[in-house]
Amino acid sequence: MNKVFEFGVQVDGYAVPVLNEREIRASAGILFFFALVSFMNSWLMGNFRLTRIFVIAFLIDFTIRVFINPKFSPSIILGRLAVRNQMPEYSGAPQKRFAWSIGLALAVTMLYLIVINNMVGPINLIVCATCLTLMFFESAFGICLACKIYNLFFQDKAKACPGGVCEVNERQDVQKIGIAQLAIVVAFVSVIGFVAQTFFPPSEATVSVASSAAAAVGDDKCTPPDWAIAMGHRDMWKLHNNCK
């Protein structure tokens, strides 16, 4: 039974149970993709069906992670399948459990708001945006934002962090960013901003969107639909349709 209900594995050379960071990042990327699709479907189309389905799936997945065993989590199984040929990179299990507990709390909140009570509003957007941010940083950068909070609550500090960020060390030359590199980024952003303002001014995009909306809804183009009002997007909807 202890092999079923366990969190992390003991690996020689590590003082705490560990998890494979590579499969965790892969699973975060998988969840981020489906979360973004469902979120944008709700945001743009006013259809919350996919969001409700995703919330239930997310809740089940994180319940298995936290209370049973991460290796039985469906998303981590898919993540393991995706990176099965890569060398494992270990990270401490205790801080991951804490971080996933935060994710589980967010999932329970969304279940109450969207699935049970069918509520739509800014709180939902904040919770969804928080989940997306956490999953994006985990999958794209290997940064567990919730894990950073772990040290604030536990005297026994996090160990075996991805990239060795828990240990104090000096950046190597390959990790350093010079003035010239920062200047390149600033110049790149400036050029893209110039191109956007010069060749694709916002006014043209607004007129295009408004014209398409007018053709679709006719004389009632300035009457926001119920779903836009429910989401608190009355003014945004009018703006997109060039209404005063």
Largest CA distance in the chain: 71
Range of the domain at 221: 175-240
The whole-number average pLDDT for the span 204-217 is: 48
The whole-number average pLDDT for the span 152-174 is: 78
pLDDT at residue 6, rounded to an integer: 85
Q: Domain check: are 137 and 103 in the same one?
A: yes
Task: Report whether pLDDT(133) > 70.
Answer: yes
Q: Domain check: are 163 and 124 in the same one?
A: yes
**pTM for the predicted model, two decimal places:** 0.75
- How many domains does the chain contain in total? 2
Task: Report whether pLDDT(215) > 70.
Answer: no
In this structure, is residue 62 part of a structural domain?
yes
How far, in whole angstroms, is CA 142 from its chain's centroid? 12
Q: Domain check: are 78 and 24 in the same one?
A: yes
How far, in whole angstroms, is CA 1 from its chain's centroid? 33
Percent of the chain with pLDDT over 70: 87
Mean pLDDT over the full length of the chain: 85
In this structure, is residue 1 part of a structural domain?
no
In this structure, is residue 5 part of a structural domain?
no
In this structure, is residue 234 part of a structural domain?
yes
Query: What confidence tens digit (pLDDT) does each residue in 61-80 have?
Result: 999 999 999 999 999 999 99
Instruction: Measure the CA–CA gap between 49 and 95, rounded to whole angstroms.
Output: 33
Q: Domain check: are 193 and 213 in the same one?
A: yes
pLDDT-derived band at 221, boundaries 50, 70, 90: low
Q: Domain check: are 141 and 87 in the same one?
A: yes
Task: Report whether pLDDT(204) > 70.
Answer: no
Q: Domain check: are 107 and 142 in the same one?
A: yes
Instruction: Measure the CA–CA gap between 61 and 63, rounded to whole angstroms.
Output: 6
pLDDT at residue 229, rounded to an integer: 76
Task: Report whether pLDDT(180) > 80.
Answer: yes
- Are 79 and 24 a contacting pair, CB within 8 Å? yes
Task: Report whether pLDDT(216) > 50.
Answer: no
Instruction: Measure the CA–CA gap between 79 and 75, rounded to whole angstroms.
Output: 6
Core vs surface per residue 39-63: b (16+ CB within 10 A) or e: bebbeeebebebbbebbebbbebbe
